[in-house]
Chains A and B, each alone.
Chain A
Amino acid sequence: MEIFKPKGTIDFMKHRGPIIGVSVLLALCGLLSVFWPGPNYGIDFKGGTEVQLRFKQPIEQGKLRQTLSTAGYDTEVVNVEGRADEYLVRVGAVSSLPAEKVASVKQALNWNISGVKIDELKVSPGGDKITFRMRDEVDPAQIEAALKAADVEVRSVNAFGSSEQHRYEAQLVGLADQMIKSLHDTLGEAAPDEPLRVEWVGPKAGRQLRDAAIKSILWTILFIMGYVAMRFDLRFAPGGIVALMHDALITVLVFVVFQREVNLSTVAALLTILGYSINDTIVIFDRIRENMTRMRDASLYELINVSTTQTLSRSILTSLVTLLSIIPFLIWGTPVIRDFALALVIGMVVGSYSTIYIAAPITEWMDKKLFSRA
Chain B
Amino acid sequence: MDRGWYLRSGLVLCLLAGSLFVVWPSVDAWLPAPAWIKDRVSSRIAPGLDIKGGLRLTYEVEVDEAIRDRRDRLVDDLLDRLGVEFGTFKQDERPTREQLDVVRARVRVEPVGDRQIRATFKSASDAKKLSLEQIRKFGDLKEESRTETVVTVAIRPDMIDDLRDTAVGQARETIADRIDKLGVRETSVTARGTDIAVEIPGADEASFTRIREIISRTARLEFKVVDDDSDYVSTLAELPAGIERQSEVASAGPENPQRVVTYLVARGEGARQKLAGYVDSLKGKVPEGRELLLGELDESEDVSAGPKPANSAKSWRTYLLHSRADVSGEDVKEAFTAFDQENNRPYVALNFNQKGADKFGQLTGRNVKRRMAIVLDDRVESAPVIQTEIGGGRCQITLGGAASSYNETLQEAKDLVVVLRAGALPAPIRPANEQLIGPSLGADAIEKSALGALLGIALVVGFMLLYYQVAGIVADVAVLLNILFLLALMALFEATLTLPGVAGIALTVGMAVDANVLINERIREELRAGKSARVAVDQGFDRAFWSIFDGQLTTFISGVVLFQYGTGPIKGFAVTLMIGIATSLFTGVFCSRVMFDWIVRGLRVKSLKVG
Which residue of the partner chain B has the closest CB to A344?
B507
Within 8 A of A (CB), among B442-462: 444-445, 448-449, 451-453, 455-457, 459-460
Partner of B193 from the list A202, A275, A287, A320 (CB cut-off 8 Å) is: A202
Which residue of the partner chain B has the closest CB to A324?
B459
When distances are taken between beta carbons in the complex, the residues of chain A under 8 Å from B551 are 278-280, 282-283
When distances are taken between beta carbons in the complex, the residues of chain B under 8 Å from A320 are 463
Among A82, A331, A341, the most chain B Cβ lie within 10 Å of the Cβ of A341
CB <8 Å contact, B280 and A336: no
Partner of A272 from the list B506, B550, B562, B565 (CB cut-off 8 Å) is: B562
Q: Does A265 contact B (CB under 8 A)?
A: yes
Q: Does B112 contact A (CB under 8 A)?
A: no
- If A197-B441, A272-B562, A286-B546 touch, whether A163 touches B280 (CB-CB below 8 Å) is yes
Which residue of the partner chain A has the closest CB to B440?
A196
Segment among A30-38, A55-63, A215-223 that sits at the interface with chain B: A215-223
Q: Does B547 contact A (CB under 8 A)?
A: yes
Which residue of the partner chain B has the closest CB to A194?
B438
Question: 3 tightest CB-CB pairs across the interface, nearest first?
Answer: A275-B558, A325-B510, A322-B510
CB <8 Å contact, A224 and B503: no
Within 8 A of A (CB), among B496-546: 499-500, 503, 506-507, 509-511, 513-514, 517-518, 521, 524-525, 543, 546
Count A-B pairs with CB separation below 8 Å: 220
- Known: A163-B281, A326-B456; 10 extra A-B contacts, CB below 8 A, are A125-B432, A197-B435, A197-B441, A220-B561, A264-B566, A287-B547, A311-B521, A321-B510, A325-B460, A336-B569
Give residues in B with beta carbon < 8 Å to A.
58, 60, 192-195, 277, 280-281, 283-284, 430, 432-433, 435, 437-438, 440-441, 444-445, 448-449, 451-453, 455-457, 459-460, 463-464, 466-469, 499-500, 503, 506-507, 509-511, 513-514, 517-518, 521, 524-525, 543, 546-547, 550-559, 561-562, 564-567, 569-570, 573-574, 577, 611
Within 8 A of B (CB), among A122-157: 124-126, 128-129
CB <8 Å contact, A126 and B554: no
When distances are taken between beta carbons in the complex, the residues of chain A under 8 Å from B554 are 224, 227-228, 275-276, 278-279, 282
CB <8 Å contact, B441 and A332: no
- If A279-B552, A322-B507 touch, whether A164 touches B193 (CB-CB below 8 Å) is no
Docked Cα-Cα span, A129 to B467, in Å, equals: 61
When distances are taken between beta carbons in the complex, the residues of chain A under 8 Å from B430 are 160
Q: Does A78 contact B (CB under 8 A)?
A: no
CB <8 Å contact, B281 and A328: no
- If A224-B554, A227-B554, A317-B521 touch, whether A324 touches B570 (CB-CB below 8 Å) is no
CB <8 Å contact, B193 and A197: no
Docked Cα-Cα span, A220 to B60, in Å, equals: 33
Give residues in A with beta carbon < 8 Å to B.
1-3, 52, 82, 124-126, 128-129, 160, 162-164, 196-199, 201-202, 204-205, 208, 212-213, 215-216, 219-220, 223-224, 227-228, 231, 264-265, 267-268, 271-272, 274-276, 278-280, 282-283, 286-287, 290, 310-311, 313-314, 317-318, 320-329, 331-334, 336-337, 340-341, 344
Docked Cα-Cα span, A320 to B510, in Å, equals: 9
CB <8 Å contact, A329 and B452: yes
CB <8 Å contact, A231 and B550: yes
Which residue of the partner chain A has the closest CB to B464?
A321
CB <8 Å contact, A125 and B555: no
Which residue of the partner chain B has the closest CB to A279?
B551
CB <8 Å contact, B550 and A286: yes
CB <8 Å contact, A326 and B506: yes
CB <8 Å contact, A329 and B192: no
CB <8 Å contact, B521 and A275: no
Partner of A268 from the list B60, B557, B574 (CB cut-off 8 Å) is: B574
Docked Cα-Cα span, A88 to B448, in Å, equals: 17
The 10 sampled A-B contact pairs (Cβ below 8 Å) are A126-B432, A197-B441, A205-B195, A279-B514, A279-B551, A317-B467, A326-B507, A332-B452, A334-B499, A344-B507
Docked Cα-Cα span, A337 to B444, in Å, equals: 13
Partner of B507 from the list A208, A227, A272, A283 (CB cut-off 8 Å) is: A272
CB <8 Å contact, B441 and A322: no
When distances are taken between beta carbons in the complex, the residues of chain B under 8 Å from A228 are 554
When distances are taken between beta carbons in the complex, the residues of chain A under 8 Å from B573 are 265, 268
Partner of B557 from the list A220, A323, A340 (CB cut-off 8 Å) is: A220
B191 to chain A, nearest CB (A): 9
CB <8 Å contact, A321 and B517: yes
A330 to chain B, nearest CB (A): 9
Partner of A126 from the list B195, B445, B509, B611 (CB cut-off 8 Å) is: B195
Partner of B558 from the list A124, A274, A321 (CB cut-off 8 Å) is: A274
- If A219-B561, A318-B517 touch, whether A328 touches B193 (CB-CB below 8 Å) is no
